[in-house]
Amino acid sequence: PPPRVAEPAAGAQTIRVCIDTLETLMTTVSELVLIRNQLIQALRDQPDSPFAAPLHRLNQVTSELQEGVMTTRMQPISGAWAKLPRLVRDLAMDLGKRIDLTLTGQDTELDRQVMELIKDPLTHMIRNACDHGLEGPDERVSLGKPPGGRITLSARHEGGAILIEMSDDGRGLDVQRIKDKAVSNGLIAAAQAATMEDAEARQLIFAPGFSTAETVTTVSGRGVGMDVVRTNIEQIGGAIDLASTPGRGTRFTIRIPLTLSIVSALIVECAGERFALPQSGIVELVSLHSRDGARRVETLNGVPVMRLRDSLLPLVSLNEALRLDGADEVRDACIVVARVGGFQFGVRVDRVFDTEEIVVKPVASLLRSLRVYSGATILGDGAVVMILDFKGLALEAGAGALLNRSEETVAPAPEPSETTEPLLVLRAADGTLKAAPLARVSRIEELAPVQVEAVDGRTVSQYRGRLMPVLDAAGEPARMMGEGRLPLLVFASGDLHLGLLVQEIVDIVEAPVRSDLPAATPGVIGSVILDGQAAGLIDIDFYWRRVTGEPEPTTAGGEAGRLLVLDDSPFTQLMVRPLLMRAGYAVHVAATPEAALALHAQGRDFDLILADTSTRGDQARRTARALMQAERWRETPLLSLGVQSLATGGLSDFAGQDLLTDIGGAIEMRAA
């Protein structure tokens, strides 16, 4: 036989690149981002410029290039955890303890520079948990615990940052022992310790040189520990928070940025000066003045506070914290609600501009002693602005004592008597109170009459280079009366956008959705009770149907596939089920694992199973585990409807905001 021709060898899929080359590339991209911002700023001043289209394309390409370069610097966090299992084994042998280390989220990626900086803090925390946190086997058995202690370390992406949680099931923090040690070390006075709250006392473990170890060993007692952890984390723009319950254990939560080079920031103005606020620490924006009058601002223990959703929000004036010239009397003043660890407070600013991708530059040596600044950047118009540090602002404004009371207690969350959903409360043009599911609101804009146009009997507005239909609460083309600006809710579906013009944004609340009364008004699909007043829950799909001309959903379906939904909450019944049925799916709802398994026993087959995990995570996990053991459904994909992935519970993927696309993709992958 003729000799066999050798097949060409497959080319290598990877190459080695010097780190300096990546750093140079990242620096070049950072400069390109600055130039992009300058061009976009110039385009805002000349919206009719003939260069608008190529500049928009340049903006898109620059963003893709930036994302690609940042991806090359990303590494799984498992690289920082590689030595931890052996460290725990060695410590367990030295201490005579049985310790089990559980790692989850090892594939979570973050910037290589950030990963290098968190290795030492994590090592300190693991050592403390093994030595101080966990009891010995005999003590654990006497307390009714298993002889082996458990340390859990997890990582996940959340809100543009990395969230790392480390918890143990040990003895928790002994508040009295911490106070006694702090007094003996001269950190606090005895009189101060007697009146100090427990939450504030637990924060003393972050004091420099603090240690409760009686003797110096190879593991602890050297006086270098949690203060170094906090300092290292805060140096990279992160924050650490703790929660502890005696006899139950301790949990540390670390929030760190994905990257240190380019971050998203909110540009604000105060006393004529502009500043950048890191968006990773911002919770929401609240207007200081509502349409029916100014919000009530009070003073509590010398700290100004504002009433927000039946709670008191401490306020920090940027004017006072930075000692700027100018009084806090601007009519359009805004409150930026920020989070530092588990503590929330408001930063009062005169004006809010927009969010920008900024390149972080280090603070000049003369300003490094000022804790309110974390860096500097150059805006699109060439102006140099300072990047503010939220914790430094709170400390400078005298709210530091409140930061130490932000601790939670490690305890199982109580089962809610009624499932609640985050809702955006609004007032329609006719004055009626309505609510919209917050998860489906893409953005909230302000619309001026000059931005509204009429095209073929429709009301439209230019939005991100396209014409966006604008409707009122009744589903009709919106009409603007007067010259004032009105709030506009923007809903997104892929590349399409839809605007809903309202009279006023009232609040953001969490309330149970009710379906006991059928809606008699078009565009209303349910109801909610807000402070004793009924409000209609708007049907967002109703407005999409008015724009696209699609018919109302019917009970018939099944052409696209058969779905099983593991939730019977009113929100799922009113919002999710009609959406799936309109897309052609046959939808069956099961409220409990038993109901789902009963369908399995009946021989029912489904193309995909959906589980609502936003509020029923534990029940969804139990259901997922049960279904994964069911013979008929072992190959059936399971998707999560909630905001948390349930990979540990058996769910194979996560259904994002574009639900129909995710479902279709999962079904196609199964059929392939």
Q: Across the chain, what does the average pLDDT equal?
A: 76
Cα angle 5-9-15, degrees, rounded to a multiple of 5: 170
296-327 burial: b if 16+ Cβ within 10 Å, else e: ebeeeeebbbbebeeeebbbbbbbebbeeeee
Architecture of 420-548 per CATH? Beta Barrel (2.40)
Question: pLDDT-derived band of residue 648, with 50, 70 and 90 as boundaries?
Answer: very low
* Cα of 606 vs its chain's centroid, Å: 33
Q: What percent of the chain has pLDDT over 90?
A: 3
Contact present, 262 and 358 (Cβ < 8 Å): yes
Confidence bin at 220 (pLDDT 50/70/90): low
Least confident among 171-180, 613-622, 632-641: 613-622
Chain mean position to CA 67 = 20
Taking Cα atoms as reference points, which of 151, 48, 71, 111 lies closest to residue 465? Answer: 48
pLDDT band for position 152 (cuts 50, 70, 90): very high
The Cα–Cα gap between 278 and 349 comes to 14
Q: How far apart are CA 451 and CA 484, in angstroms?
A: 12
Banded pLDDT at 382 (limits 50, 70, 90)? confident
Q: Residue 450 burial by CB count (10 A; 0-12/13-18/19+): exposed, middle or buried? A: exposed
pLDDT tens digits, one per residue of 437-476: 887 788 888 888 878 888 877 888 888 777 888 988 888 8
Please tell me the distance from the alpha carbon of residue 512 to that of residue 597, in angstroms, as a whole number. Answer: 28
Beta bridge mates, 507: 425
How would you label 494-508 residue by residue, b for 16+ Cβ within 10 Å and e otherwise?
A: eeebbbbbbbbbbeb
Higher pLDDT, 29 or 650: 29
Q: How far is the C-alpha of 42 from the C-alpha of 36, rounded, in Å? A: 10
Task: Assess whether pLDDT exceeds 60 at residue 262.
Answer: yes
Nearest to 252, CA basis, from 131, 164, 333 = 164
> pTM of the full predicted structure?
0.55
User: What does the block give as tokens for 86?
Assistant: 């052996």
Supply the DSSP symbol for 614. S
Sequence ranges of the domains in the chain: 19-72, 76-157+165-174+212-246, 262-403, 420-548, 561-671
CA 393 to chain centre: 22
Q: Which of 165-179, 234-248, 312-326, 409-423 has the least mean pLDDT?
A: 409-423
List Cα–Cα distances, 573 to 49, 357, 506, 576, in angstroms: 48, 39, 26, 6
Backbone angles phi, psi at 424, to 5 degrees: -100, 115
Domain 262-403 has CATH 3.20.20.70: no
pLDDT tens digits along 487-532: 888 888 766 788 998 888 888 777 776 654 445 567 777 777 777 7
User: Is the per-residue pLDDT at 65 higher than 60?
Assistant: yes
Q: What topology does CATH give the domain 76-157+165-174+212-246?
A: Heat Shock Protein 90 (3.30.565)
Q: What is the pLDDT of residues 97-145, one digit of tens each?
A: 999 999 988 888 888 888 888 888 888 889 888 888 888 899 889 888 8
Do 29 and 69 touch, CB atoms closer than 8 A?
Answer: yes
Q: Identify whether the C-beta of residue 134 lies closer than 8 Å to the C-beta of residue 168.
A: yes
Q: How far is CA 117 from the centre of its chain?
A: 22
- 619-642 average pLDDT score: 68
Task: Quote the tokens at residue 464.
Answer: 């991100």
- 618 pLDDT above the threshold of 80: no
Is residue 635 predicted with pLDDT exceeding 50?
Answer: yes
Is residue 646 a contact partner of residue 640, using CB atoms and an 8 Å limit?
A: yes
CA–CA dist 221, 367 (Å, integer): 35
317 membership: H or E segment, kind and range:
strand 311-317
Please give the share of the chain, as a percent, with pLDDT higher than 70: 75
| Domains 262-403 and 561-671 fall in the same CATH topology | no
**Nearest one of 253, 260, 246 to 230, comparing CA atoms:** 253
Does 335 have pLDDT greater than 80?
yes
With residue 562 as reference, give the H or E element that holds it: strand 561-566
pLDDT, residue 645, reads 38
Mean predicted confidence (pLDDT) in 337-346? 79
Using an 8 Å Cβ cutoff, are 393 and 347 in contact?
yes
Chain-centre distance of CA 497, in angstroms?
23
Long-range Cβ contacts of 523-529 (<8 Å, 24+ apart): 523/473, 523/474, 523/475, 524/434, 525/574, 525/575, 525/578, 526/570, 526/574, 528/423, 528/435
Mean local confidence (pLDDT), 542-555: 68
pLDDT, position 89: 92
Question: What pLDDT shows up at residue 671?
Answer: 65
What are the structure tokens assigned to 338, written together? 């920020």
Cross-strand pairs, 166:
153, 252
Do 499 and 469 form a contact (C-beta atoms < 8 A)?
Answer: yes
CA-to-CA distance for 302 and 400, rounded, in angstroms?
Answer: 12
Average pLDDT over residues 140-165: 86
| Residue 622 pLDDT exceeds 80 | no
Dist CA 315 CA 312 (whole Å): 9
Closest CA to 317 of 308, 304, 307, 306: 304
Phi-psi region of 395 (alpha: psi -120 to 50; beta: other; left: phi over 0): alpha
DSSP for 151-188 reads: EEEEEEEETTEEEEEEEE-S----HHHHHHHHHHTTSS
Kindly state the tokens that stand for 453.
């146009």
pLDDT-wise least confident of 216-225, 500-509, 645-654: 645-654
Q: Given pLDDT bands bounded at 50, 70 and 90, which one contains residue 657?
A: very low
Where is average pLDDT lowest: 317-326, 536-545, 644-653?
Answer: 644-653
Nearest to 237 by CA among 461, 392, 122: 392
- What pLDDT is recorded for position 555? 44
Quick one: average pLDDT of 73-88?
88
From residue 553, give the alpha-carbon distance in Å to each of 402, 496, 541: 51, 21, 10
pLDDT for 417: 44
Q: Is the dihedral of CA 419, 421, 427, 432 positive or negative?
A: negative
**Structure tokens given for 282:** 């911002």
201-220: burial string, b at 16+ Cβ within 10 Å, e else: bbbbbbbeebbbbeeeeebb
Task: Give me the architecture of the 561-671 domain, per CATH.
Answer: 3-Layer(aba) Sandwich (3.40)
pLDDT value of position 153:
92
pLDDT of residue 151: 92
∠ CA 533-538-542, rounded to 5°: 160
What pLDDT score does 287 carry?
Answer: 75
Cβ–Cβ contacts within 10 Å for residue 408, how many? 15
Of 125-134, 149-158, 518-527, 553-562, which range is least confident? 553-562
The Cβ-side half-sphere exposure at 516, using a 13 Å CA radius, reads 5
Residue 169: is its pLDDT beyond 70?
yes
CA–CA dist 242, 641 (Å, integer): 29
Compare 573 and 202 and report the one with higher pLDDT: 202
